Chain A
Amino acid sequence: MIRTRKKRPPEDAGLPEMLAIQGVRKAFGEHVVLDDVSLTLKKGDIALLVGANGCGKSTLLRCVSGLTAFEGSVRILGAEPRSAVGRGLIGYLPQLVSLPESVTVGEVIDHFASLRKISVRTPADLAAAVQLPDGFLPGLQRPIGALSGGMRRRVALAVALLGSPPLILLDEPAASLDAGHSASLWETLKVLREAGGTALIAMPLLVTSLLRHDLASVADRAVLLDHGQVVHDGPVESLRPVPVLGAHRPMSASLR
C-alpha cells in the first residue's frame, strides 16, 4: 500500500529548502563523477538516490555532507555544509565504516551523543535519542569486535540517526543487513517520514528496483543518477525491475 504524503504545515512557507543542490560538478582528475547535478529536498521529503555502481551516489552524499570539495553550490537550510551552522544539521551513514573493535556499542553511542550534546545515560534517554525498533541495536555492553558485519552496520546507522538531525544522508543503509533487520530499517524510515524527517538515501539500482513496492511506502521520490547526471526524478513506482544481471543496457531502460 502506498502512503500519501501529509500536507506540509503552513509554517514551513518561506523557510529555505532543507537541501538545495545547484549545478554540482565533481571530477577526479579527468574523470567527471558528477556533472551539473541539481536537486532540492523540502522538509519532510525522503528521496532515494538510485543508480548503478560508480554513478556518483556516494560522491554526491559526500559533497552534501561537506566531506569533499566540488564546483557548484550545496545549502542545507540555507547554510553551507562545512560552516558552523551547517555542521550538525546532518546525520550521515557512510557506505563503508569500520568502528573501532576495542569499544562497546554503548561507548560508541555515548561518544557520538556527547558530540551532539545529547545525554544517553539511561535506556529512556537512548530510546528518545535514537528512534529505532526494539532489538535493532545490539546490546550496549557488547564490544564492536564481537559483532557481525550487519550488527556493526546497525550501530553505525544508530549513530547517523542520533538526535534526529534535520537532514539524514544514508549511503546504502541496507547493505549487510539480513531480511529481518532490513524490514526494521524500512520501519524506522517510515517512522522518520511520519515525524517529518528529511532524508536522501543512496541505493543500488538493482536493490531499489526489486524492493520498489516496499520502498514506495518509505520514500516520496526516486532520483536516478547515470554517469554523474540526474536522468530521472519521480515516484519510486516509476522504477521497474532490472530483468537481467550484467546485460549491457542504458540506464534509462530502468524507467517505466
Chain B
Amino acid sequence: MNPAAVRAVARWELRLAVRGRLVMGTAVTFTVVCVLATLLGLRSLSDLGLAGVGAGTGALINLAILFPPLMGIMLGANSLSSARERSLLPLMLVQPLSRLDHVCGVVIGLVGAVWLTIGFGFGASALLLAGVAGTADIGGLLAIVASALGVGVVSVALGVAISAVSGSRLQALGISMGLWFLFAFAIDLVLAGVGAAVHLGPLGLFVGVLVNPLEAGRVLMVLASGGDALTLGPFGAYLNQTVGAAWTAVAVCASLATWTGSSLLLAWTGISRREP
C-alpha cells in the first residue's frame, strides 16, 4: 500500500463527488427530511410524553437506512464505471500506484462524501434537539450517527465492487438500484411473507439480519439508541432476546465488516482482471 497515493485518490474522488449533483441533492434532501422528522418527533414528545421518543428516533433511523446507503451505493457504482467509460481509468492506472491503492482511495473519498451528507442531516437534527429538548437525547442520536457512518462505508464499498465488475456505467447503476431496493424493502417483505407460512426458525431469523447490511445497520442503530423490541423489528428482537444486546451488536458489526471486506476484495479483483 502507498498511503500518499491512497490519500491523493481519496481527495480527488471526494472533490469530484461533492461537486456532483447527486451528493448535493441528496445532502439537501436528507437534511430537510431529518429536520422534519426531528420536528415531528419533538411534537410527539410534547403530545405523548416519553412514548414520542421512539417514534422520532424510529423516523431518523429509517431515514439513515434509506438515504445515505442509496447515495453511497450509487456513488460507488458510478465511480470506476464512469472513469472507464471516460477513458480516465487508464490514465489513473498508469500512475505509480497499485490497483488496490486506487480502489481504497476511491472508497475512502466517496465514504467522505457520504459522511458529509450524514453529518449535515444529523447535525441539523442534533442542533434542533439540543435547542428544544436539551442534550439528554444527543447521546442516542450520536449512536445512530455512528452506526449510519458504518452503513455508509458498506454501501460505498458495495457500489465500488459493482462498478468494478460491471460492463457499463448504466449496468452498474441499475444493479445498484436493484440491490438497494432489495435490501431496503424486498428482503423484509419476502421474509415477512414467507416467515409466517414456513416458520423460518431461529436460524432463518438470524440469517435474515446478517445477510442484509441495511437490516444489520438498522438493528445496530436501534441497539445503540437503546431501542425496544418494537423498533428492533422481528429479526432484531429475536437476536436481542436470544444472545443479548452485546452479542447482537457484535454479530451485526461482523456482518457489516464482512460486507465491506468482501466488497473491497471483489472491487480489487474486478479492477485487476478487467481491462480499464
Task: Report A's interface with B, CB cutoff 8 A.
Answer: 62, 65-69, 84, 87-88, 90-92, 94-100, 102-103, 107, 111-112, 114-117, 156, 159
Contact = CB atoms under 8 A, between A and B. Distances in A.
Given A102-B20, A114-B4, A115-B95, A67 B86 contact: no
A102 B19 contact: yes
Contact of B88 (A62, A98, A116): A98
A99 B88 CA distance: 7
A156 B11 CA distance: 20
Contacts of A94: 87, 90-91
A115 B96 contact: yes
A94 B8 CA distance: 21
B80 to A, nearest CB: 14
Contacts of A156: 91
A156 B20 CA distance: 22
A97 B87 contact: yes
Contact of A69 (B12, B98, B275): B275
A103 B18 CA distance: 11
Nearest to A89: B96
B143 to A, nearest CB: 35
B94 interface: yes
Nearest first, the 4 closest Cβ-Cβ pairs linking A and B are: A88-B96, A98-B86, A102-B19, A114-B8
B274 to A, nearest CB: 10
Given A90-B94, A114-B4, A97 B16 contact: no
A92 to B, nearest CB: 4
Interface string B87-116: 110110111111000000000000000000
Interface of B: 4-5, 8-9, 11-12, 15-16, 19-20, 86-88, 90-91, 93-98, 275-276
A201 B16 CA distance: 31
A206 to B, nearest CB: 23
A39 to B, nearest CB: 19
Contacts of A66: 93-94
B91 A88 contact: no
Nearest to A64: B94
Contact of A111 (B8, B86, B275): B8
Contact of A87 (B8, B12, B15, B96): B96
Contacts of A112: 91, 95
B89 to A, nearest CB: 9
Nearest to B94: A92
A86 to B, nearest CB: 9
- Between B5, B12, B16, the greatest number of chain A beta carbons within 10 A of the residue's beta carbon is seen for B12
Contact of B94 (A67, A99, A114, A117): A67
A177 B11 CA distance: 31
Contacts of A96: 87
B86 A65 contact: no
27 contacts: A62-B90, A65-B90, A67-B275, A67-B276, A69-B275, A84-B98, A87-B95, A87-B96, A90-B94, A92-B90, A92-B94, A94-B87, A94-B91, A96-B87, A97-B87, A97-B91, A98-B87, A99-B86, A99-B88, A103-B15, A103-B16, A111-B8, A112-B91, A115-B9, A115-B95, A117-B4, A117-B96
